[in-house]
Amino acid sequence: MPKRATIQDVARAAGVSVTTVSRYLNGRYESMSENTREKIAAVIAELGYRPNALAKGLKAQRTETVGAIVVNMSYPFCVGFLRAFSRTLSAAGYHLMVAESEGDAKRERQLIESFVANRVEAIALQTSGANNDYLEDLAREMPVVLVDRAFALRNAYAIGTNNRDASREIAWQLFDLGYDCVVYLTEDERGIPTRTDRLEGYLDACRVALREPVVMRVRRGDPASFREALARVDACARKERTAVYTANGLVLMECYRPLRALGHKVPDAMGIATFDQPDWADLVDPPLTCVRQPVEEMGEAAGRIITARLRGEAVAAEVLVVPSTVVMRGSTGRG
């Protein structure tokens, strides 16, 4: 591995001082003869010189890099968010460092610290909530944006959706469509506000509709937990018109097939609905009724807030709620 040319090498080869080269690099051509400029340009091209961003960052105290921590880069929410976030930042000249917390609070903490050590200029994360104190401190030093799990922290920004309202809305519509029993499938919601809110929304709807809530907790990757939930759905569907409503797209993906295999006619005997709009929502037949989360908008908003702040603009800390929309489709007999 040959070592890379430095500004020194360029200066030497061009017969000028590093100062002049530095000026050239930063586009301050006014203070430089046409001649030197061309000379430097030539040398740079010849040596394939690339300025060392580390040295520059060390001096300037700026890395032009921001960090993002998500639970799992392959989750649809994360994919959509990261992409929009990345595009926005990229357009503003920032680099993106990404990492996965796997939902583990300790790991999340380590990742944040190592991002800080790398002097990212801002952080966006889908936090577990366990590091909120630390994040609150951190938010005094750099822009911190909480995404999805929108905890309200001093000095930090939060971007989420109206989980409870949207969940209530879709659950209510299910009752309204004549499903007598709506079974709600969720992962353990402890400590995760999005899950709590969606559950609450469902419970709200049950209250208003004067129905008994049926909440089944499942664990993704644990078929037994799903079997139990499906058994419950089946039992209901044998007695009355039943709808299954899942707390997110991944849960539905994991049980969609067995759900259909129960044999109840969709949407008449059994309705299906989910929070999230999976990319396969209208490929299945009938297409899925779902809650569309504005994932891209969230990513863009996060990017906008961060770039604005890094540009030096004052942006008041706030909890931004980007509303979700209920999309009624054939899986619940309308749309």
Verify binding: residue 283, its own copies, rule CB under 8 A.
yes
Question: Smallest Cα–Cα separation from 249: which of 186, 327, 188?
Answer: 186
| 297 contacts its own copies (rule: CB under 8 A) | no
Distance separating alpha carbons of residues 152 and 319, to the nearest angstrom:
6
User: Which span sits near its own copies by CB under 8 A: 5-13, 47-55, 179-187, 269-277?
Assistant: 47-55
Using only C-alpha atoms, what is the Rg of the chain? 26
Q: Which does 19 bind (CB under 5 to 8 A by kind): DNA, its own copies, none?
A: DNA
Q: Which of DNA, its own copies, none binds 114 (CB below 5-8 Å, type-dependent)?
A: its own copies
Rounded to 5 degrees, what angle do the CA atoms 248, 255, 196 make?
A: 30
Q: Which CB atom, from 17 or from 90, has the smaller least distance to its own copies? A: 90
Give DSSP secondary structure letters for 68-119: EEES-TTSHHHHHHHHHHHHHHHHTT-EEEEEE-TT-HHHHHHHHHHHHHTT
User: Out of DNA, its own copies, none, which partner does residue 110 contact, by CB within 5 to 8 A per kind?
Assistant: none
Cα–Cα–Cα angle for 73, 74, 78, rounded to 5 degrees:
55
Selected binder of its own copies within 83, 106, 219, 227 (CB under 8 A): 83
Position 54 contacts its own copies (CB under 8 A): yes
Judged by CB under 8 A, which of 13, 99, 174, 229 binds its own copies? 99
Residue 1 interacting with its own copies (CB under 8 A): yes
Q: Retrieve residue 90's tokens.
A: 């990229």
Q: Whole-angstrom Cα distance, residue 79 to residue 41? A: 40
Instruction: Give the span between the Cα atoms of 69 and 65, in whole angstroms.
Output: 13
Given 280, 315, 318, 323, the residue binding its own copies (CB under 8 A): 280
Q: Which is nearer to DNA, 61 or 221 (CB)?
A: 61
Structural contact between residues 213 and 232, judged by C-beta atoms closer than 8 angstroms: no
Residues binding its own copies: what is the number (CB under 8 A)?
53
283: part of which helix (H) or strand (E)?
none
Nearest approach in angstroms of CB 95 to its own copies is: 6
Among DNA, its own copies, none, residue 35 binds (CB under 5-8 Å by kind)? DNA
* Four-residue CA torsion sign, 297, 303, 306, 307: negative
Residue 258 interacts with its own copies (CB under 8 A): yes or no: no
The least CB distance from residue 113 to DNA, in Å, is 13
Q: Applying CB under 8 A, does 108 fall inside the site for its own copies?
A: no
How far does Cα 208 stand from its chain's mean position?
Answer: 32
Note whether 330 binds its own copies by CB under 8 A. no
Binding site for its own copies (CB under 8 A): 1-4, 48, 50-55, 57-58, 61, 63, 65, 72-74, 79-80, 82-83, 86-87, 90, 95-100, 113-114, 116-119, 137, 140-142, 253, 256-257, 260, 278-280, 282-285
